[in-house]
Amino acid sequence: MSSKRIGLIVNPMAGRDIRRLVAYASLQSAPEKALTARRILAGVAAVPHVEVLVPEDEGGFFTWLQRDVTEILPVTLVPREHHEEDSTTLWVKMLVEAGADALIVVGGDGTQRNVAEARPSVPVLPVAGGTNNVVCYLGDQTAAGYAVARFLADGLDGEEMGQRAKVIHIAMANGTRDLALVDVALTRQRYTGAMAIWDPEDVQALVLTMADASRPGLSNVGGYLHPLTFGDDEGLMLKMGLPGSPFPGVLAPGLMAHFTVAEHKVLQIGEPVMWHAPEGGSLALDGERTLILGVRDTVTLEIWRDGPLILDPARIFHEVAGLHV
């Protein structure tokens, strides 16, 4: 029986942004991330004929990780052949090119956005490991490894065991294109700075693919108005300002804020939203300021379900149980 391959990415920088410094959250150390990898690999190791690949990186994190987990499961280091700077997008491309049949990516929403930018041709299980984890699997990490390994070993259908992620497509008047998985915020600041947003007064408008009041992030406030799950074929647009109603928002663990929402609207798949920035500003993609807007710039946003194929461990375990009935 030929082996199947899982590509494992543990973003060493996830969960270390400035929001964790201004909130009641601790920074996630490299040893803690290695423990996460160990838990995932323990699940994978329970399934025969499944190998694990990790990408070589300039910082040496994955080389160290490979040595750290050898007693659990031998891990193959994929040599670095690209000359690009280290990024999750690069690591996804490396692993897919090396023959990974599925990916497990540990990181927050920003990390998973980078996965979407790489447009992987294989299914992905995003595992929570950042500050905001709205799009991520929050269950046991050992079960996550076991689920993906069983998915591959049993030859299950990815389209039946998962669903395509919703993606916010961003088009600026100057031709710039970008994307986000969970939220896009129009902010007043005209620079990226520390990137992360923790001041509600900075936010002018939001477009959301998900809105869950139980998970932190900019999309949190939408959960009080119109809850949206990963599976809902809808989005949500919020405009801030007066007159409006105050709503709470959990921007990061231990960081409460209040937003004054002047207007909200449910968006259908493909429905365009146009924003104007008469005084300039910036766009925060999945919680991080990324694109600078000039004076009088316009931006068009549309939500489509054309992102990575995201695996659902619950579906996998349900199917696996059926195989043994």
Residues 84/90, Cβ–Cβ less than 8 Å: yes
Residues 283/185, Cβ–Cβ less than 8 Å: yes
Between 270 and 321, the more confident residue is 270
pLDDT, residue 278, reads 87
Q: How many CB atoms lie within 10 A of CB 277?
A: 22
Residue 199 has pLDDT above 90, yes or no: no
Which element (helix H / strand E) includes 321?
helix 313-323
Identity at 91, one-letter amino acid code: W
CA–CA distance, 285 with 303 (Å, rounded to integer):
13
pLDDT, residue 252, reads 83
The pLDDT tens digits for 106-115 are 999 999 999 9
Total residue count of the chain as it appears in this document: 325
Q: pLDDT category, 321, cuts 50, 70, 90? A: confident
Average pLDDT, the chain: 92
Residues 205/237, Cβ–Cβ less than 8 Å: yes
Residues 91/80, Cβ–Cβ less than 8 Å: no
pLDDT, residue 2, reads 77
The pLDDT tens digits for 133-166 are 999 999 999 999 999 999 999 999 999 999 999 9
pLDDT, residue 325, reads 45
CA–CA distance, 52 with 69 (Å, rounded to integer):
11
Q: pLDDT category, 18, cuts 50, 70, 90? A: low
Burial class (CB in 10 A: 0-12, 13-18, 19+), 272: exposed
Cα angle, residue 259 at apex, residues 257 and 264 outer, rounded to 5°: 145
Domains by residue range for the chain, with CATH: 4-165+308-323 (3.40.50), 167-304 (2.60.200.30)
Encoding tokens for residue 102? 């599925």
Burial class (CB in 10 A: 0-12, 13-18, 19+), 228: buried
pLDDT, residue 315, reads 96
The pLDDT tens digits for 52-97 are 999 999 999 999 999 999 999 999 999 998 888 999 999 999 999 9
Alpha helices by DSSP H, listed for 98-208, are: 109-118, 141-153, 158-161
What strands lie across the sheet with 297-304, from one edge to the other? 177-180, 167-172, 297-304, 273-277
The pLDDT tens digits for 259-315 are 999 999 999 999 999 999 888 999 999 989 999 999 889 999 999 999 999 999 999
